Structure 1
Amino acid sequence: MEDFRSVIKWLDGHDFVFAGDTPVCSHCHHYNLFIDKTIDDALGVGSSIQLRTDAAREFFFQLLSSVFAEAGVDSPDERLSLAAEIFSNFGHGKIDLSQLNADGGEAIGEHMHYAYTWLEKFGDTQQRYHPADAVAGGFAAAALACAHDLAPEAVDVQETECLVLGDSRCVFELSIREVELSEPRIRVDYDKIAEVVPETFAGIQEETVERLTVGLKEFLANVSGDERGLIQAFGVFVTTNPSSLYNRISYEMLETLRREHPSFVAVSASLLREAGRLCGFNTFGGIIGSPEWEALTGSTERDMLTVALHACTIARGLGFGRWSVSDYEEGKMIAFQAPSTYEGPYYKIRHGVADDPTCYLFEGACEAAAQLGHAVDWSEQPDFTPAFYEDVFAPSNNPWRAEQTRCACKGDDRCEVVVTRTE
């Protein structure tokens, strides 16, 4: 395939991005690792690995099937080769799928995003006792199923070697089993998402935000994995994943807890918001503080409103949805809105009408944007390290509290988060 980017498209007016017909978005390693740990802690490592593997297998199968069809790629070898190319372009590392066949086989991974970045972030301070690459395993299973026209549920995968366990590479053993096909899950794709999103609208300084978004999308369109298959930029490692992968593991974790451990639901939901706050702080902060961002925006202004508008621009460029600022009172409050975040369409399609707001990433990241504009001295060119995060968001240093006041999944006409100063 000459140019994989030919299958990338956007949903006009909503800033959702698709590979083929599958919604995707980009996240940093801080978010990826924190989400994984949240689910590990809530469900136990075994159940967590299975859920994350199943979600990756489901939605990468959808993505690869769609891309192969659009590209006219038919033979198993061509499909496996293109799948490995997509894996690296998406920042997940290098994966060798050439030893796979219709009976299974072995996939070899080098510089796997989750294992590599876990070692980068925690390797000097923490010991790990289980593999890190459930998403890569699910991808390999999806690639094998697509290559040989198998049901994705028929492909099992186990990571038998992993960098975080002291191995020199990551190894995935794949096998085929007979399955009785169950009722297929509702597909979450371009057409269904276009049907359920509310009407779009503009926010404060919309022309500026839209102009910067166009520039950011053009910049990001040329970003892909390096010689390691990793995307390292703005102080973070970035991957592109099906957004439905994040949604499935988050919402199914909460559903399991509601059935089995209802007292844990509030804690795990708060951790999903914390993941969003980590994402907003590290990704928005790293980009806004970079020379590339200064060149794109043509400005060094970093007051709170400007930082919030820039955060909305970045969210749009990463496929999070059409975020905007709807209201602002200096030193008191700032309100963010979107017709829908990427969390909303999935919830509507798979789960229906919600009783409570469902946009955990949106809520946490909006609080991060407020604190980035309030507490960060950009003239010092800060490094967005874990220690800096802990300092900025220490209870005594963070006066902001976010609340999602509207949610499209509850029947509202938009999603809205209001961040207010509590002191």
Structure 2
Amino acid sequence: MSQMTMSGQNLIGGLNRVFHCNYYNAFLQMTVLLSDGMTECAPKQLLKTAATPLVKYLKQQGYSEQDLIKEFSTCGFGKLRQIDPITWETPNSHYSEASCFQEKPRHNCFFTAGYLQGITNRRVEEIACQLLGNPVDIFNVFEPQSSDNYLLYEPPITPVPGRFAFENAQNFATTVDEDKIIAAVKKLPFYGKADPNDNGLIDIFGVLLTQHFADYLNRISYETYFGMRRAGIPEMEAKALFIQAGIYCAFFTYGGIMKSEEWYNTVVPMCQTREDWIHAMVAIINTLGWGIWRIERLEPLKKLIIRVYNSYEGIGYRRMYPPTTDKNISFLAIGGCIGLARLLWKIDIREKPPLTWDFYLANFNNDDNDYQVTQTHAIAAGDEYDRFVVT
């Protein structure tokens, strides 16, 4: 189980874990795979090798092989078991349950293969996949393989200030009790079960969640983004791909949460306006390991300003690279802020619309009455926090 810290990190074994759903994980992986064939990009290898050093780090912290197998399930990745000295399988797998969107089915359990590389210290390849009709995902173990640690720098964790006051005509006061919401969320079963009769998946809010490695998601995102830029993809086009993954995350995860029984039982009685729903959703976000979000300004239907202290993207960037001059670099949070505004102000999630692909395309992914976001501050660029202005 994770240890939630005051800085907004959810630590397991000293590594931050962030909750993300199957839609985000699948779309992000698909985005990484779009770089296949581009100069200096090796996405299939990256999707594996980004996991391996993190598992090795856990082994250095004292994790046994059985600990790692159990944690694979606890964090929602499915069931992992060894069949013989060179064969492993996942009868249940988060990545095999993930939607392919517009892709053709293919071997897609790269993270699992990388995780196994960390356990075995050997090269691992997926040789059979449920998405291609096999009953289970099968992995073979090959020659010994080393891996390089890409976490080179200490994370710049900063103290988190209290919430902003909302007491004037522009920033309406809210009736939402964030502390009560966070206490209620902590009681929910945000973990998979590793028992023999369980599937090791986290099925809640209408999505499959994982407690994913923040460093893994950051590594595959930023290395692919840099590779796309070196291959000649324009900056805004490359960024838009990763921001879109954050918008999917907001639509399916935020939307699923705000349609759930738990939301209506615990949160809705506190809410009087749509803006109260935004305050409440930010409270939920502050349990996900994404850092601590603070609403700086909220003008109904017009403007939303969010600060994020210790954002997992900003912290993650600084763990891998020197500070950048680019301030629009927290792709997931940019997409999440856009998605939050769209869910409450472009459509009205309180009407419980169907969260389907067709509804997304018809109502959520067009330019009518749309919202845009600019990131004005970035931890990756040396600022104290990330800051997003939605208009």
Establish whether TM, by shorter chain, passes 0.5: yes
Task: Report whether the alignment pairs 1:287 with 2:257.
Answer: yes
Structure 1 stretches of 4+ with a deviation exceeding 6 A read none
Task: Report whether the alignment pairs 1:323 with 2:318.
Answer: no
Q: 1:400 to 1:92 in 2, by over 3 A?
A: same
Task: Report whether the alignment pairs 1:197 with 2:184.
Answer: no
CA contact (8 A) 2:278 2:344 kept: yes
SS class of match (2:177): helix
Matches within 5 A, 1:297-308: 297=267, 299=269, 301=271, 303-308=273-278
CA contact (8 A) 1:81 1:98 kept: no
Q: 1:200 offset after TM fit, Å?
A: 1.4
Q: 1:126 to 1:279 in 2, by over 3 A?
A: closer
Measure the CA separation in 2 of the matches of 1:314 and 1:270.
25
Measure the CA separation in 2 of the matches of 1:175 and 1:418.
49
Query: Match for residue 182 of structure 2?
Result: 213
Give CA-to-partner distance per residue, 1:189-239, whole Å, 9 cap, x none: xxx33xx12331223469822332232123255665782221111111111
Matches within 5 A, 1:334-373: 334-357=304-327, 358-373=329-344
Measure the CA separation in 2 of the matches of 1:9 and 1:253.
30
Measure the CA separation in 2 of the matches of 1:366 and 1:349.
24
Measure the CA separation in 1 of the matches of 2:255 and 2:241.
20
User: Unaligned 5+ residue runs, structure 1?
Assistant: 69-78, 146-154
Residue 334 of structure 2 aligns with an amino acid whose one-letter code is E
Q: 1:264 offset after TM fit, Å?
A: 4.3
Residue 201 of structure 1 aligns with an amino acid whose one-letter code is P
Measure the CA separation in 1 of the matches of 2:360 and 2:285.
20
Matches within 5 A, 1:219-298: 219-220=188-189, 224=193, 227-259=198-230, 261-297=231-267
TM-score, normalization by structure 2: 0.88
Task: Report whether the alignment pairs 1:20 with 2:16.
Answer: no
Give CA-to-partner distance per residue, 1:290-328, whole Å, 9 cap, x none: 111122225273733222212212221111110121101
Measure the CA separation in 1 of the matches of 2:381 and 2:23.
29
Query: Match for residue 42 of structure 2?
Result: 47
Q: 1:376 to 1:258 in 2, by over 3 A?
A: closer
Q: 1:302 to 1:20 in 2, by over 3 A?
A: farther
Select the residue among 43, 51, 61 that pairs with 1:66.
Answer: 61
CA contact (8 A) 2:182 2:287 kept: yes
Query: Match for residue 134 of structure 1?
Result: 110
Query: Match for residue 413 of structure 1?
Result: 384
Query: Match for residue 9 of structure 1?
Result: 3
Residue 119 of structure 2 aligns with an amino acid whose one-letter code is A
CA contact (8 A) 2:89 2:136 kept: yes
Measure the CA separation in 1 of the matches of 2:62 and 2:296.
37
Q: 1:113 offset after TM fit, Å?
A: 1.0
The Cα RMSD (Å) is 2.5
Query: Match for residue 95 of structure 2?
Result: 114
Q: 1:170 offset after TM fit, Å?
A: 0.6
Measure the CA separation in 2 of the matches of 1:327 and 1:415.
14
Residue 200 of structure 1 aligns with an amino acid whose one-letter code is V
Q: 1:222 to 1:132 in 2, by over 3 A?
A: closer
Q: 1:284 offset after TM fit, Å?
A: 1.1
Measure the CA separation in 2 of the matches of 1:397 and 1:198.
39
Deviates more, 1:206-215 or 1:270-279: 206-215
Q: 1:158 offset after TM fit, Å?
A: 0.5
SS class of match (1:60): helix
Measure the CA separation in 1 of the matches of 2:223 and 2:145.
25
CA contact (8 A) 1:110 1:170 kept: yes
